[in-house]
Structure 1
Amino acid sequence: MWLLCLTGPAAFAQHTNNKTTDSDTSRLLKELMVYGQKRQIASITKTPTPLIDLPISVQLIDRKLIEQQQITDVRDAIKNVSGITVTGTYGDGYAMFNGRGFSMNFNSNFRWNGILMQTTGRLYGDNIERIEILKGPASIQYGDVAPGAVMNFVSKKPLDYEYRRFELKVGEYGFVRPTLDLSGALTPAKNLLYRLNASYESSNHFIDKINGKNYLIAPSITWKIIPALEWNVELTAKNDNRTFAPGLVSPDGTFEGLKKIPRGLFLGEPDSRHRYNETSVYSTLSYKISNHLSIRNVSYYSKAQEQEESVFFPDGKADENGNLNRTTEFFQTFTGIAGTTLDLVGKFSTFGVHHDFVIGADYTRRNYTIFYNDPVELKPFNMYHPVYGENILPKIIGYDGDPDKPKQFITRYGAYVQDQLKMWDERIHLMLGVRFNKTIQGTKYTAANPTPANYKDDVKKPLSPRIALLVKPLKDLSVYASYTQSYEQNGWDELTNIMLQSTDAKQIEFGAKSNLFSGKLGIGLSVFQIDKKNIVGYVFGLDSAPDWPHLAYNEYYKWAMYQGGHHRSRGVELDINGKITPQLSINIATSYINATVVEDPAFKSGNQLEGNAKQTFNIWADYVLDKGRLKGLEFGYGFFYKGKFYASTQNLPDAVVKAYWSMDASIGYSYRQFFTRLNVSNLTNNIGYLARSGLYEPLWVRRSTLSIGVKF
């Protein structure tokens, strides 16, 4: 049990009273943090192997870092990890991420305690203990995933001592966020525990007309049925309602043209909204068979409803007078995800060779139904003299449970085995693994919407292997090499009535990991190459059907779809995190990633992939005074840099998004149960943008956030 406590929040507990009770000792162990990679483990790997012994790249964003930076959005959290960036959002309703040069698939690359989660809403919640990033292909653990990275959110669990925390965050632009975290035992024997996380947020935006509200309620119960058997049930209910933010188009279609308009300009309609509502329930049953063998089952059901009342720009730019054509697109999506996993994790020895193994199986079923209205053109709009409210926006007419509406589905089955063999006094590690997959993707048609001719479900049964070698010349130093594969299911395309091939990827990675200062500071270095083939791609802004091979062309939206090609990503990543001294903690993340077209029907060989910044560098340092009259005073500083990138894989020279950097600063103070912190982000008020397919999203201006709280 003590080892599991070491993976908790990064709160280095200190006692001011030499006399401690059993309860105090229990609480101390639960809040203790061992920095670096010496003893930390990550649940995303599905094994209790220390990170320094894993021949794969895994990084953690822990609770302490989240609190230091006052993070309320995953987009701010992932700045602390190398190789992961934000490429854009859909109307500011949900974000899109890039991992090692490739887009992360929101249908498969995001997990909640290791299981598939809903992703079209805001991902962050105050019930998150830490965020885990597994870089590269993760098909052994999760099957059908994009190859860049998998992001896993680990939820807070009930505690066996009384814990109360209330915090109020307030800030500029009407930002208000109260949060509540309660936990403790429901029985004197402490075999029935509870935890409740709740939050509410209301905020405006530096962009005109934009506002939003969201709330989260997340209760959980842990029942220690017997010492070896534990059952945890958690419920998550969240709601998000905000103005649909369409972003900006350049008046002349170039990046420099953005200087002609204010970055706070709103090109949408105040009445258009992004609405998201989700209810999820998770059941985790863990049984410790022996000291070296345990079994774990997770079953879950998640239901979400999303409504997008979007405004977009079919021409991609305005005329010379600033007149802009705008169109609405309204749709609703109803999604249900259900599944179960079963993992047997253990260790044994044979003839001097130690084995750490996992044998598992999983099943997931995802159903989704989409209702949409045909696009409706809005009245003329001038970006230099904007007038709002002149349009009556149409509303969606669909509803959940329509028996005549076709329903899309994807069903995933998987069985996997992985063994890490440790030889020669555990100086040589050999990891071998394989996953057997069966993925079925298709549409359930109805009598009112009959099955198209020649339709069939897309069924794939690939094998996903992994092989890796790790060598430990020193106790706190490891070097490794690994080879992995992945695949992404693409299914039946309703526009062309053809079956799309799966997109496949292979990765070769070399790396080194080390722990310094008695394991308090961890260092991870990785060098990799990922090759991705049979890509399904889109090209936007086409005035006519292209002359290169394509599957479909949409005359109204002016895009073409194709499949084929070969893209490659090569890079170097460095992550340093932990404590240099008891007072000073740091987090450094930097990467150089060259993601290019090798061959492609639509793009030139050598072109950079959309949204990929070759260079990133991020550092955060926090210093806390732990002695003297100013004990409890804390200072933080961050510098975040993202190099230039292209808004599309076409690599148009006038659409290069310039490099962007920002500085953050914080000051905090804690005294007994009370704490407060002031954070200022983008201290120098720099101007930066996200971009994709000719659409630009301005990054936040300088912003201050003050928190006041109490915990006991």
Structure 2
Amino acid sequence: MTRVLFPPAPLFRQPSTPLARLACAVAFILHTAGPMAESRSQAFNIPPQALGSALNTYAEAANVQLSYPAALAQGKQSPGISGQYTPEQALRKLLGGSLIVARSTANGTVTLEKATQAAPAATPSNQTTLQAVKVTGAAEYAADDPRNTDYAVPSASSAGRTDTPIMETPMAIQVVPKAVIHDQQAIQVGDAIKNVSGVFQGQSFGGFAETFLIRGFSTNFNNYLDGFRWPASRLTLANAERVEVVKGAAANLYGRIEPGGMINIVTKRPQATPYYALEQQFGSYDLYRTTADATGALNKDGSLLYRLNIESLNKNSFRDFVFTDRVFIAPSLTWLISDRTQLDLDFMYSDEDTQEDYGVVASALTRRPANIPISRYLNEPSTDKSNTTFYNTAVTLSHAFNDDWKVKARFNYLNRNTVDPQIYGVFWDDNPSSPTYGDMTRDAYGSFAESETYYGNVNLSGHFETLGVDHKTLVGWEHYSGDSTLHTQSDPVNWGGSTINIFHPVYQPTDYSKLPNHYQDGSGSHSNGVYFQDQITLFGKLHILGGGRYDWISDAASGFDEPSPEVAYANRKTTNDEGFSPRVGVLYQPWHWLSLYGNYVESMGSANGATDINNKRLDPQMGEQYEAGFKTAFFDGRMTSSVAFYQLTKKNMAVGVPGKPYSEAIGEARSQGVEIDISGQVTEGLSLIGSYAYTDAVILKADFNEGKQLWNVPRNAGSLWAKYDLQQAALRGLSVGAGAYFQDTKQGDNANTFQLPGWGRIDALVKYTLPVARAKTTLQFNVENLLDHSYYIASSPFITTFVIPGQPRTFMGSVKVEF
């Protein structure tokens, strides 16, 4: 479809009736028949942003009529412009580095098209000044526009640290946009990733921290925020623009990482166009959540932009005694120093109280979760209250040397404090003939931790041509450093906790003051890495990606049971590792709607804590992946899909030598399967996001569990969520939606001693936007687990007393005002 922009109404969709199209054609002729405009300089202030959005702003400011295929601007960024320029000069700068040229037509329209070797430079010199033409219809928004309701996202930044079209990226990457987050009323990361294939929720301890399994392997509580590795905690979606999931090992750009992949939250950025939103959510189990979002310019010339996101969350749970209270604030500031230089300042503060929760238990006899109410709480309600407080500050400076080369530097500092007392089950008597049937022994563990994380990153990206070959190059350096101190109270010899009967619980608080004190000094992981990447394009259809990263990593920590902080500091031991992680990928795009790709990736993962026969620390764990697949984009990019086939292996896992005090790095686990994802707009008003994954994850080499399936990974799982905006005039503003989610039976632990049954769930949505002028007011109602099906979502790989039930039927309503 060809996009035509009329100033000053840049939001336009082709009229649907022949009569309306004829009227627009007459308007074209009438408004382009006037005299040619004199080309004079004027003030432009268009911040760096998606190219389509920049062109919208330009068309209005320059009073110029633009015409171009909608797909031409998808996935492309504009460097922006600030200063006095003629319309011709301004357009050249906005198109800088995009390989798009502008031409003037006889009627004064400026057309945009993809550059070829024979194409002349952009010369829109015969422009015609047009009077304002108002065109009604559904709006087309830029990707980062707060009002954007698209389910399809054309580009993502996580896979290559550059904003690259997904159709040109030879890796599997899925995006959950803010439109889906809003429609499903998602609050946490786990609420969003249910829409992505091959990603499953892990043990969350009542929400204290979130971990996931991607392609069979745990993320070990490491999630990412704007590319920064975030330590174990729970991240809200209150300031999330979208959630990006990169499948497979991404160590060549992000350093030490688990081989399954990474989950990266991309935060909302300040916008030049003012936007304000206030939403009140309320639901089952006394859920009350208030969020606010505001953005715009702070000065007249628009060089200083801000964004402010606020969240206040109070909710209980279907689980007895469990609650979450959180206050979150995230202000951001963007200073457009010049048309080439930008400074971003970001701050985040969160103070969260929650109840520690390990869930219910499973039986070795029935090989299923025990037959007790899913609401039953088996920790200690009076003492197991956790608090997490963090302060995060980030500074980002970017500068474009010219239209082709740009440098971007980021510094991030995170201070995190946790108080986390917990009394959890260790084992229980599940023999019905035993006089102590149902008794569970509990351990007490009090944790007080403070950590500081420093992150620095510098990227140099550029575009150039050699012998007709197009290159997009990235080189960079990254530093990551985490320091922590840990004070615990526990008695591992006498367990320190109390016994509780799972069928008839009687709660017995533990006096933590009587437990022995233990200390650990952990300087955590200190790493430096350098990396490079080159994305080569041949003939406009063949894309070749090559790159790698070399890391120098130092891990330092003392034992967990030191008698004092001073002894813990003195007993620190340091392990040094280094290694190279390569990545290569090839993508062939014979038509704009189809991409065929393959990749090979290696990654350096977690450090091994065990030692060999010479008391030397074992080499770190390694990941290796082979992947092939294809991607499609239909309906002018409004509907995208991907299919991936992969084999992923995790090697160098420590395996103890029987009867010996040392280990060998021979452990190995493998995951292979197929993943299908689809999202976007099918027809007028109908949007959907869906997924399916077949995952075969097994332990190949181990000390005890060789040949067993990896825990918490269903063989078959899928989802389908659809929303329809009613098109009839009398019902306009009303939307209905529904979603179905299912998972196959999965192993509850790595020994395969019990299973979590397969399950299915249906969710529903009704939403209505009131026909009120000036402010957009939306009433929304969601139901999760409409049929009230009982199910279990996660467990622990090593123990039967950590089983997390799924949520029963839950209602959530909201009132949102935007203007």
- Cα-to-partner distance string for 1:74-94 (whole Å, 9 max, x where unaligned): 112111111111122234311
Counterpart position of 1:670:
769
Quickly say closer, same or farther: Cα 1:89–1:550, change in 2 above 3 A: farther
CA contact (8 A) 2:153 2:175 kept: no
Counterpart position of 1:470:
587
Counterpart position of 1:172:
284
Alignment of 1:322 with 2:423, yes or no, is no
Counterpart position of 1:95:
210
Query: Of residues 265, 275, 278 in structure 1, which corresponds to 2:376?
Result: 265
Counterpart position of 1:508:
626
- Could you tell me which amino acid in structure 2 is paired with residue 332 of structure 1? F
Counterpart position of 1:540:
none
Q: Secondary structure at the match of 2:163?
A: coil
Deviation, structure 1 residue 255: 4.0
Q: Distance in 1 between matches of 2:144 and 2:756?
A: 48
Quickly say closer, same or farther: Cα 1:341–1:229, change in 2 above 3 A: same
Alignment of 1:608 with 2:743, yes or no, is no
Quickly say closer, same or farther: Cα 1:4–1:324, change in 2 above 3 A: farther
Query: Of residues 416, 423, 439 in structure 1, which corresponds to 2:553?
Result: 439
Mapping of residues 282-681 of structure 1, within 5 Å: 282-318=394-430, 320=432, 321-375=437-491, 377-389=496-508, 391-394=510-513, 406-423=521-538, 425-443=539-557, 448-449=567-568, 451=570, 457-490=574-607, 492=609, 499-536=617-654, 548=658, 564-605=666-707, 607-652=708-753, 655-671=754-770, 672=772, 673-681=776-784
Mapping of residues 98-137 of structure 1, within 5 Å: 98-107=213-222, 110-118=223-231, 120-137=232-249
Counterpart position of 1:3:
51
**RMSD of equivalent CA atoms:** 2.9
Query: Of residues 137, 141, 157 in structure 2, which corresponds to 1:42?
Result: 157
Quickly say closer, same or farther: Cα 1:64–1:396, change in 2 above 3 A: farther
Gaps of 5+ in 1: 9-16, 538-545, 553-560
Counterpart position of 2:85:
none
Counterpart position of 1:281:
393
- Which of the two has higher C-alpha Rg? 2
Deviation, structure 1 residue 508: 0.5
CA contact (8 A) 2:320 2:376 kept: yes
Q: Distance in 1 between matches of 2:555 and 2:746?
A: 34
Quickly say closer, same or farther: Cα 1:405–1:148, change in 2 above 3 A: closer
Q: Secondary structure at the match of 2:396?
A: strand
Quickly say closer, same or farther: Cα 1:379–1:529, change in 2 above 3 A: closer
Q: Distance in 2 between matches of 1:91 and 1:249?
A: 15
Deviation, structure 1 residue 32: 7.6
- Cα-to-partner distance string for 1:185-224 (whole Å, 9 max, x where unaligned): 1101111111111111111111112222111011111111
Gaps of 5+ in 2: 1-48, 54-73, 77-131, 560-564
Quickly say closer, same or farther: Cα 1:398–1:127, change in 2 above 3 A: farther
Q: Secondary structure at the match of 1:94?
A: coil
Q: Distance in 2 between matches of 1:27 and 1:608?
A: 44
Q: Distance in 1 between matches of 2:250 and 2:668?
A: 20
Q: Distance in 1 between matches of 2:624 and 2:500?
A: 47
Q: Distance in 2 between matches of 1:396 and 1:665?
A: 49
- Could you tell me which amino acid in structure 1 is paired with residue 600 of structure 2? Y
CA contact (8 A) 1:38 1:515 kept: no
CA contact (8 A) 1:485 1:506 kept: yes
> How many residues are aligned here?
672
Deviation, structure 1 residue 388: 2.6
Alignment of 1:139 with 2:258, yes or no, is no
Counterpart position of 2:126:
none
Q: Secondary structure at the match of 2:703?
A: coil
Q: Distance in 1 between matches of 2:270 and 2:715?
A: 42
Percent of residue pairs identical: 26
Q: Secondary structure at the match of 2:406?
A: strand
Give the TM-score normalised by structure 1.
Answer: 0.89
Deviation, structure 1 residue 642: 1.0
Q: Secondary structure at the match of 1:76?
A: helix
Larger RCO (alpha carbons 8 Å, 6+ apart):
1
Query: Of residues 684, 700, 703 in structure 1, which corresponds to 2:807?
Result: 700
Quickly say closer, same or farther: Cα 1:284–1:509, change in 2 above 3 A: same
Q: Distance in 2 between matches of 1:495 and 1:629?
A: 74
Q: Distance in 2 between matches of 1:582 and 1:87?
A: 37
CA contact (8 A) 1:575 1:589 kept: yes
Deviation, structure 1 residue 251: 5.9
Deviation, structure 1 residue 519: 1.2
- Could you tell me which amino acid in structure 2 is paired with residue 590 of structure 1? Y
Deviation, structure 1 residue 295: 1.2
Quickly say closer, same or farther: Cα 1:122–1:390, change in 2 above 3 A: closer
Q: Distance in 2 between matches of 1:563 and 1:270?
A: 42
Query: Is the deviation greater in 621-630 or in 508-517?
Result: 621-630
Q: Distance in 2 between matches of 1:473 and 1:580?
A: 23
Quickly say closer, same or farther: Cα 1:302–1:322, change in 2 above 3 A: same
Counterpart position of 1:53:
168
CA contact (8 A) 2:75 2:165 kept: no
Give the TM-score normalised by structure 2.
Answer: 0.77
